[in-house]
Structure 1
Amino acid sequence: MSSTMAVTTADSSELPPIYNKALNHLLQEDTPPLATLPDQEVLSIAKEILQAIYSQQWSEADQWPAQEAALYKLPGSAALNSAAASKFVMCTALMDYVRTFIEGLEYKVLGDKDKEEPPELLKKKRCVGEDVVVYGPVSLSATLPGNTFEVWTSSSDENTGKHTSKQKDKVQSFTTNDTKRVAVVLGAGNQSFLGIIDVLDNTLRHRRPVLLKHHPLRPWLAAPYAIILEPLATRGYFSQCQDVSIQVTKMLLSHPAVKHVHITGAYSTAKAVEEILMQANNSELSSSQVKSMITSELGCATPQIIDDGDYTTKELSHIAQMIACGKKTNCGSNCLSPQVVVLPKSWKQKHLFREKLLQELERQPTTPCYYPGSLEKNRSLVEDCKRFGSKCIIAVAPSVSAETKITEDDHVVVVECGTPGQKGYNSQPLLVEAFGPTLSIVELDDSNNNSSSSSQDDGMYLANFAVPFLNNKENIFGSLSCSIFIPKSKGPSYHESEPFQKVLSALNYGSIAINQMSLFGYTASTKGGIWGGHSLETLGQSGNGNIGDLYGIIGDGNCTAAKVVLYGPSLETKPLLDNSSPPPPVVLDVIRELICTDSIMKGVGKALVLICRRMFYAGISYLPILGRLVGDN
C-alpha cells in the first residue's frame, strides 16, 4: 500500500515508533477488511505464500538456522544437524499447512459447482456411541509411513448442557467492515516454525490482520517470515516487530485496535495477558468476553500411558526409545515433551520397562538446556522431590557432540512419584509443566480391578483407572496431548474394539497418540486435524481454541469437544526418530529439495543440483591434502 493512503493513526504515543508503524500498516482505511475478502482472493494470497515457500529464499535468510543453533548452544557437527533439521521442519510444516488450507478452501468454493471430490479426510466418517462423529483415518504424511490420524468431534447441545463451550459469550471482532481491528500474535520462544503457523492460522483461517511480536530469543526470524508472508504484508494484513520490553508489550496489548491475542507459551503468560486485556477493556466487556479475545496453545505435563498386557522385549525397548527421544529433544523444552510415565501398579513388566527406559535415557545424547529459567525450574523441582523423599535418578548420557558442552543439570532426572492415595505419593511433578529434563513415573493402583485377564485385554485398566485419573486436573496438569502404548499381544485390531474406542472417546486430551510420539499430533493439525487443549478441560491449563481445522470440520461453535487420534505402527516397528542417530544434513536437505516444489521434475532437478554442489565442495576440500601428497612424491 502507498504511504500516501489515509490511515487510522495508532492512538498510542507511548509506543516505540516501530510499533506505531507496524500498527498503522494494518489500520489503513483504504485496505479492505480481511474478514470481508472473497474466498477466491484469499485463495490467491495462500497460493502466493505457497510459491514463496517453494522458492526457499527464506531458508538461509539472516542465517537464521545458524543463529538458532547458536541459541541451542550447539557448535560444529551438532550445529549442522540442527540447521538442517530446522529448515526441514519449517518447510514441511508450512507446506502441509498451506496446501491443506488451499485444498479445503477450494473444496468449499468449487465443491458443489464443479463436482469437486471432497478431501480424503471428509470422505471417511463413522460414529462412536451416540454423539461422537469420527473423520478418517487418513495417512499422516508420505514422509511418515504407517501413521494415520482421525478427527473426533462431539456436537454441542445447548438444551442438555452437554459439552458446554468455554466461549459462549464471545466478542465478534473481525466480522464487520471496521478496519480498526488487529490481532496480536506473541511469538513462541522454543520453536521457529510455531510463530509463522500461528500467523497463518489467524490470517488465512480466521481472517484477522496480524501484528506479530517476535520472542526475544528469536529476533532473526523476522527475515524468513518477511519473505514467506510478503503476500499478506503487501496487502496490509501482516506486520511484525521485535520485542522491546514487557512494558511495551503491555502497552501494545492495551491498544484499542487490538481485539484478539494469540499466545503460544506458558499458562502464566496467558493469565497475564488476560489481566492486561481486562484492565484495558474493563468498562466495556465482561470477563468471559475478554477471555474470548484470547486463543492460546500452552503447556502440559504430557502423560505416557502404558496399557497393561504382555509386551515383547522389542516393544518395551521401542516405547522407551520414543519416550526418551521426546524427552531429550530440545532438552524437554517443548509443550508436548513427555513428562509423566503412567504405569499399572500390578503390571508384571514394570521393572523391566524401567530398565529399558533408563538405558534409553543414557544412550540417547544430552543437549544443553538453553531455555531461560528451565534449568533453575527443574533443579528446584528435583530438590523439592528429594526433600519429599522421592527417589530421583540422574540418567547420565553422552553429549550430542564432542564440541558441545553439557552440565549435570542438563541430563534427564527420573523421579519416582509412587502411587496416588498411598503413603509417600508425590504429586508435585505432575502438577506443573516441567519444560525441561525432568521425567516422572507414577503407578496407578489397579488392585480393585477384579476383572479376568481376558476382560483386562478389553481396556478395563485404561477405562477404570487411567482415564479417570488423567481427566481429573487435580491430579495432572494440562490436556494438550498424550500417548498410549498397547502391545501386539492384544491383537492387531484391538485399537478398533468397542472398549478401546470408548476409552479414546472418554479421554479428554486434544491429541492422543497410539503407539507413537505425541509430537506428530501437531503434524496432524497441518493436515486437517487440530492442535490445542481439550475444550472440556475448563481450567484452560493447556490453552483456549486450536490450531488447524483446515477443512472446517469443527467450525465456529458447531462442535465444542474435539480431538485428534493418531495411530502409529506396531510397537515391533523401529521408531522413526532417535537422537543418537539423526539423519545426515545432506539427506534432510535432499528430501527438502525433492518435496518443496509444485513439480516432481523440479524437485528432482533441485535435488541433483544440490548433490552435485555438495560433491564439488567436498572435492575442493580435499585439494590441499592431494597437493601435499603430490608434493611429497
Structure 2
Amino acid sequence: MTSATAATPGLTDAERASLDTAIDELETGSRTWSALGVGQRATLLRAVRTAVAASAEEWAHTAAMSKGLNGSHPLRGEEWLAGPYSVLGALDAYIETLSRLAEGRNPLEGLQLGRAPGGRTTVHAFPLTGIDKVLLSGFTGEVWLTPGTTPRSARAGAGLAQRTPTESGGVGLVLGAGNVTSIPVLDVLYELLAHNRVALLKVNPTQDALVPIFEHALAALIEPGFLRIVRGSGETGAFLTAHKKLVHVHITGSAATFDTIVWGTGAAGKRRRRENRPQLKKPITAELGGVSPIIVVPGEWTDADLTFHAEHIATMRLQNCGHNCIAGQVVIMSSDWAQRDAFRVALRRAYAKAPERPIWYPGSGDRMQQASDDYPDALVLGDRLLVEISDGDDATALQSTEYFAPVLGVVEVAGAGQTFLDAAIAYANDELQGTLGANLLIDPATQESLGTGFGRAIAELHYGSIAINAWTAFGFITPTLTWGAFPGNTIDEVGSGLSVVHNALLLDNVERSVVRGPFRPFPRSLPMANGGGRFTILPKPPWFVTARTGAVVSEGLTRFRATGGILGLAKTLFQALRA
C-alpha cells in the first residue's frame, strides 16, 4: 500500500485507493512539469485562460446559487468578481511574467521601484496595463519588500521557481477554502509557479457543486497530471495530510483547522504542542484570516464623505455576508472627532440598508449567536449586528474572535492627527488578533498635513495587506500584489498564517502589499472638488454592497476581461455611472 496509513476512519478501501492513484498520477505529472520550459508553461496557461473564460458564466451562477443568491439578487455580482474575474486576472499576470522570463527578460523590467520607511524597497505593482489605469483610475498598489532587500536583489530574485524550472517541487496538497471560489484555483496556480509543485486540490464541501466547472476550466492542467481535484470530508483531509508522498501542505482556512493538522486534537494535541513535537511531518503554509481593523482618521468631511465611507465600511463587513477572512470587523474612531456622532449615524444607516442575504457559511449562525451572547446590547439591524463599545464595555471578544459573520464593532481611541493615527495603529497591532489586512480612511487634507509622519505610521502597521481609502479585498483581487500575513509567524503561533500567495510577479522577500484608492468618487473626484485627492471615473465601485448596478457591472467587467469587446465595455461603463 502506498498510502501513509493502512486505514483511516471514515474512508473505505476504495476511497483510499482512489486517492493513492491520484497521487501516483501526480508524481508522474511532476516529472512532465519539470520537463516543460517556461515558454511552454505560458502557452499552457493560455489554454487554461480560454477554458476559464468559457466557464465564467456557469461558474458565477453556480457560486451565487450555492450561497442563496438567485438570478435577480442585487449582490450576485460578487460571485463574478470573486470567482472567474480574479482567476482571469491572475492568469493574464502569470502569463506576462512567464513570457518575460522565456524571452530572457526580468519580470520587473520597466516597473518602477521605490523606497519606503525603514530601508524597504517597493515595487509598483498596479496598475501595469492601460485598461487598468483607465477602469480603475485612482487605485494603485505596491509591494513592500523586507527591510534590507535592495533593488538589485529584488530583480535577482524575481521569478522564484521559474528561474529554475527543471527543479521539481514534488507533489503538494492544497486544502481549498470554502468561502470564495477563486481561492482554491489561485492557490493551485501559486503552487505550480512559485514552487514548481504539482497539486492535489481537496475542495471544501461548500464548493462541491463547482467541481465539474473547475474540472472543465482547468482541464489543461488535469490532463497532463499537473492537478487532481478531489472531494471529501475531514477524514479525507486527515488521510492526505499524513500521506508520505505529499511533500507540502497549503491551507486557506481557520487557525483551529491549522492546529488540528499540525498538532492534532484533544489531550494528545496539547501534549505534542507542549513538547514541540508536531504530528505533521512536512512543511505547511497557510492563510488563516483574523480580526481586521478599519481606522477612520478624523478630519473635516462633507456629508457626502460621511455617507460614502459609511457605505464603504458596510461593504468591508457585509460583502459575502461577512464570510471573508479579510472582512473588516473593528472600526477604530477618534473620541475627539467633532464629526464622530454624525459618522456613527451614517454608519448605522448604511449598515442597516444594505441588501439582506442568507447567512450561508457552515457554523456562522453559531458565531452570530456567540456575538449576541458576548454583546447582548448590540444593535440588531436586520440580519446583522453592530457592536458599539462604550466606556466600561469589555472589547476582548470583539478584538480576539474572528466572527466570520455579519458582526461589525466600533471602538474609540483619543486624539487627532498624528496622535490619533499612532494610537490607532498601536491598538490594531497590539489588541486585534491576526495580521492579514488593515484598512485606513483619511481625507487628502489631513494626510497632507501629516507629511512624512503618515508614511512612517503606515510602516508601523504590521499587516500583510494595507488599504488606504480602499478595502484590502482590492489587494486580494489584484494578482500582481501579494496576499498573506505579516511575516514572523510560526507553527506554534500561527496568527494569520505563513507565507504569501498570488504574487504574480513572483517576488522574493515580500513583507506586505499597500493599496491606495481615491477618497472621493466621481464626480467629486474631479480636481475642482476632490481637495487634492485622487481622480477616479468610478462613482461607486461595483463591489460596494450599496451599488445599484453592481451586479450587472461586475458581470460586464468579467466578460470584458474574458473576451474583450469595446461595445460591451462601453455598456458596462454606462451602467457603472448609474451605480
Structure 1: which amino acid aligns with 2:374? D
Conserved in 1, the CA contact under 8 Å of 2:385 and 2:407? yes
Provide the aligned C-alpha RMSD in A.
3.3
- Cα distance 1:92–1:518, how it changes in 2: closer, same or farther (>3 A)? same
Match of 2:176 in 1: 187
Higher mean C-alpha displacement, 352-361 vs 575-584 = 575-584
Match of 2:87 in 1: 94
Hey, what's the Cα distance between the residues in 1 that align with 2:369 and 2:279?
39
Q: Displacement of 1:315 after TM fit?
A: 1.4
Conserved in 2, the CA contact under 8 Å of 1:429 and 1:440? yes
Hey, what's the Cα distance between the residues in 2 that align with 1:318 and 1:291?
50
Aligned residues: 523
Whether 1:312 aligns to 2:302 is yes
Give the alignment of 1:239-254 within 5 angstroms.
239-243=228-232, 245-254=233-242
Hey, what's the Cα distance between the residues in 2 that align with 1:47 and 1:119?
22
- Cα distance 1:97–1:470, how it changes in 2: closer, same or farther (>3 A)? same
Whether 1:47 aligns to 2:46 is yes
Hey, what's the Cα distance between the residues in 1 that align with 2:29 and 2:311?
52
Conserved in 2, the CA contact under 8 Å of 1:593 and 1:604? no
Conserved in 2, the CA contact under 8 Å of 1:321 and 1:578? yes
Could you state the TM-score of these two structures normalised by the residue count of structure 2? 0.82
SS of the aligned residue for 1:184 comes to: strand
Q: Provide runs of 4+ in structure 1 moved above 6 Å.
A: 174-179, 605-610
C-alpha deviations, 1:513-546, integer Å up to 9, x for none?
111122112023x1x1101111135632211111
Conserved in 2, the CA contact under 8 Å of 1:530 and 1:563? yes
- Cα distance 1:53–1:67, how it changes in 2: closer, same or farther (>3 A)? closer
Hey, what's the Cα distance between the residues in 2 that align with 1:52 and 1:39?
20
Structure 1: which amino acid aligns with 2:339? Q
Hey, what's the Cα distance between the residues in 2 that align with 1:247 and 1:300?
26
Kindly, what percent of the aligned residue pairs are identical?
A: 24
Match of 1:441 in 2: 410
Conserved in 2, the CA contact under 8 Å of 1:304 and 1:340? yes
Hey, what's the Cα distance between the residues in 2 that align with 1:516 and 1:584?
17
Conserved in 2, the CA contact under 8 Å of 1:302 and 1:337? yes
Give the alignment of 1:504-515 within 5 angstroms.
504-515=458-469
Q: Displacement of 1:182 after TM fit?
A: 2.3
Q: Report which of the two structures shows the higher radius of gyration computed on alpha carbons.
A: 1
- Cα distance 1:517–1:342, how it changes in 2: closer, same or farther (>3 A)? same
Whether 1:359 aligns to 2:349 is yes
Conserved in 1, the CA contact under 8 Å of 2:482 and 2:500? yes
Match of 2:155 in 1: none
Higher mean C-alpha displacement, 8-17 vs 565-574 = 8-17
Whether 1:592 aligns to 2:551 is no
SS of the aligned residue for 1:394 comes to: strand
SS of the aligned residue for 2:97 comes to: helix
Structure 1 unaligned blocks of 5 or more: 1-7, 158-173, 397-410, 447-455, 611-633
- Cα distance 1:494–1:296, how it changes in 2: closer, same or farther (>3 A)? farther
Whether 1:27 aligns to 2:24 is yes
Could you state the TM-score of these two structures normalised by the residue count of structure 1? 0.75
Match of 1:77 in 2: 72
Structure 2: which amino acid aligns with 1:151? V
- Cα distance 1:506–1:46, how it changes in 2: closer, same or farther (>3 A)? same
Structure 2: which amino acid aligns with 1:154? T
Give the alignment of 1:85-484 within 5 angstroms.
85-112=78-105, 118=108, 123-136=111-124, 138-139=126-127, 141=132, 142-155=134-147, 181-243=170-232, 245-276=233-264, 293-386=283-376, 391-396=377-382, 411-418=383-390, 423-446=392-415, 457=417, 459-463=418-422, 465-472=423-430, 475-484=431-440
Structure 2: which amino acid aligns with 1:133? T
Structure 2 unaligned blocks of 5 or more: 150-163, 526-538, 573-579
Conserved in 2, the CA contact under 8 Å of 1:103 and 1:119? no
C-alpha deviations, 1:106-158, integer Å up to 9, x for none?
2233244xxx79455xx21122234211122632735433211111112469x
Structure 2: which amino acid aligns with 1:596? A
Hey, what's the Cα distance between the residues in 2 that align with 1:481 and 1:302?
6
Whether 1:567 aligns to 2:527 is no
Whether 1:517 aligns to 2:471 is yes
SS of the aligned residue for 1:20 comes to: helix
- Cα distance 1:348–1:35, how it changes in 2: closer, same or farther (>3 A)? farther
Conserved in 2, the CA contact under 8 Å of 1:19 and 1:241? no
SS of the aligned residue for 2:338 comes to: coil
Hey, what's the Cα distance between the residues in 2 that align with 1:547 and 1:257?
23
SS of the aligned residue for 2:544 comes to: coil
Q: Displacement of 1:76 after TM fit?
A: 5.4
Which of 477, 484, 503 in structure 1 is aligned with 2:457?
A: 503
Which of 521, 535, 541 in structure 1 is aligned with 2:487?
A: 535
- Cα distance 1:365–1:333, how it changes in 2: closer, same or farther (>3 A)? same
C-alpha deviations, 1:70-91, integer Å up to 9, x for none?
332234522xx55554235422
C-alpha deviations, 1:212-239, integer Å up to 9, x for none?
1111111111111112221221111110
- Cα distance 1:20–1:200, how it changes in 2: closer, same or farther (>3 A)? farther
- Cα distance 1:237–1:12, how it changes in 2: closer, same or farther (>3 A)? farther
